[in-house]
Amino acid sequence: MEEKKALSTQEVADILQVSKSTIYDLIKKGKITSYKIGRKVRFTESDVQKFIAVSKKEQSQVGCSASGIVQLQPCFRPQLENCGFVICGQDLILDILSNYMRNYGITALRAYTGSYDSLIALYKGQVDVASAHLWDSEKDQYNVSYVKALLPGIPAVVVRFISRQQGLYVRKGNPKGLSSWEDFRRSDITMINREYGAGSRVLLDENLQRMGLCGKYVAGYQNMVQSHLAVASAVGRGDADIGVGTEKMAEQVESVDFIPLKKERYDLVVRKEDMDRPEMVTLLEIIRSEPFHKEFGSIGGYDITDMGEIIYGI
């Protein structure tokens, strides 16, 4: 990756989909390289890529870290029984939910995995709560179809969490006049993609399929990054003309415009047998509470209508 700018702590937190406190903890432990300009902490892009590469190597075994991040690998639940209560997903709202639960005396840890792999982890018993924003184009429905398919024989409950706008990231001023899924047919555009199993990639693939367009014919389709912010940053730098992601992350990159295309559902999925566990009862109490609603009802980018309602399974 070519070095183009210094990254702030918040930008690195957004790229890794963790909280700023987690980044400071990683610095303290010497896990990620940083430098200072005056009193401000900064990172190079190669520092971040090196950290990601090392973290992937460490994922050859399952374990919990002192920073509260769980690394996932195919396993049986007994390997995680000392890790506490694990919430899986990439949106920063889950970090805040985890912190709320700790205030209630519950050790709530985080696993940062895309929607598809999050449901697989729930099926395998690696996590207690999975998050998903996977669109079924045939039914124009989010998540339920995938829960049925990826958790065969396991009664599950889908809880409404938030809604977000998904759409296109384009360069500021939209110089190529991009506006819809049909623009992926154009020969003069290069895209940047998300990793396999990410909800944004599934949304793209479902729309390409409806158009009868195979991804391999779209320039840049095989170029993958791990977060919405990384997609937006690539477009903003001019490394790509177009990418798919959420509206909120587009607000973090000044050189990017956002074109809304789909209101998506970002839901929580749990095993039905776990609904009476004290941890799950507390989680539902928190996301239905007025303080939690107030925190997210005014920050933009999140629609909390129906948060906490059970939409499938009971």
* Three-class DSSP labels, 218-287: CCCCCCEECCHHHHHHHHHHCCCCEEEEEHHHHCCCCCEEEEEEEEEEEEEEEEHHHCCCHHHHHHHHHH
Query: How does residue 59 score in pLDDT terms, banded at 50, 70 and 90?
Result: very low
Query: How does residue 10 score in pLDDT terms, banded at 50, 70 and 90?
Result: confident
Percent share of the chain, pLDDT over 70? 88
pLDDT in tens, 185-227: 999 999 999 999 999 999 999 999 999 999 999 999 999 998 8
Query: How does residue 4 score in pLDDT terms, banded at 50, 70 and 90?
Result: low
Q: Which residues are CB-contacts of 3 (< 8 A; sequence separation ≥ 6)?
A: 44, 45, 46
Percent share of the chain, pLDDT over 90? 61
Q: Please say if the pLDDT value at position 60 is more than 60.
A: no
- The more confidently predicted of residues 83 and 32 is 32
Give strand pairing partners of 42: 8, 35
* CATH tag for 1-58 (out of 3.30.70, 3.40.50, 1.10.1740, 1.10.1660): 1.10.1660
Q: Would you state the pLDDT for residue 71?
A: 53
Query: How does residue 90 score in pLDDT terms, banded at 50, 70 and 90?
Result: confident
Identity of residue 197: G
Class of domain 61-162+266-312: alpha beta
Tokens describing residue 3: 């070095």
Q: Would you state the pLDDT for residue 185?
A: 97
Q: Please say if the pLDDT value at position 313 is more than 70.
A: yes
Tokens 């303080």 sit on residue: 291
User: What is the pTM for the complete model shown?
Assistant: 0.74
Q: In what helix (H) or strand (E) does residue 85 lie, and over which residues does it extend?
A: strand 85-88
Query: How does residue 63 score in pLDDT terms, banded at 50, 70 and 90?
Result: very low
- The more confidently predicted of residues 33 and 156 is 156
Mean per-residue pLDDT for 276-283?
A: 95
Counting Cα atoms < 13 Å in the Cβ hemisphere of 152 gives: 1
Query: How does residue 57 score in pLDDT terms, banded at 50, 70 and 90?
Result: low
Tokens describing residue 85: 């209560």
DSSP class of 53: H
DSSP the chain: ------EEHHHHHHHHTS-HHHHHHHHHTTSS--EEETTEEEE-HHHHHHHHHHHHHHTTS-EE-TTSBEE--S--GGGGTTS-EEEE---HHHHHHHHHHHHTT--EEEE---HHHHHHHHHTTS-SEEEE--EETTTTEESHHHHHHHSTT--EEEEEEEEEEEEEEEETT-TT---SGGGGG-TT--EEEEPTT-HHHHHHHHHHHHTT--GGGSTTTT-EESSHHHHHHHHHHTS-SEEEEEHHHHTT-TTEEEEEEEEEEEEEEEEGGGTTSHHHHHHHHHHTSHHHHHHHHSSSS-B-TTTT-EEE--
The domains spanning 61-162+266-312 and 165-263 adopt the same CATH topology: yes
Tokens describing residue 239: 């490394």
Q: Please say if the pLDDT value at position 263 is more than 70.
A: yes
Q: What are the structural domain ranges in the chain? A: 1-58, 61-162+266-312, 165-263
Are 114 and 130 contacting, i.e. CB atoms less than 8 angstroms apart? no
Mean pLDDT taken over the chain: 87
Q: In what helix (H) or strand (E) does residue 49 lie, and over which residues does it extend?
A: helix 45-58
Q: Which of 51-55, 104-108, 190-194, 289-293 has the lowest mean pLDDT?
A: 51-55
Q: Please say if the pLDDT value at position 1 is more than 60.
A: no
Give strand pairing partners of 156: 271
Class of domain 165-263: alpha beta
pLDDT in tens, 133-160: 999 999 999 999 999 999 999 999 999 9
Q: Which of 3-12, 132-141, 169-178, 280-289 has the lowest mean pLDDT?
A: 3-12
Query: How does residue 69 score in pLDDT terms, banded at 50, 70 and 90?
Result: low
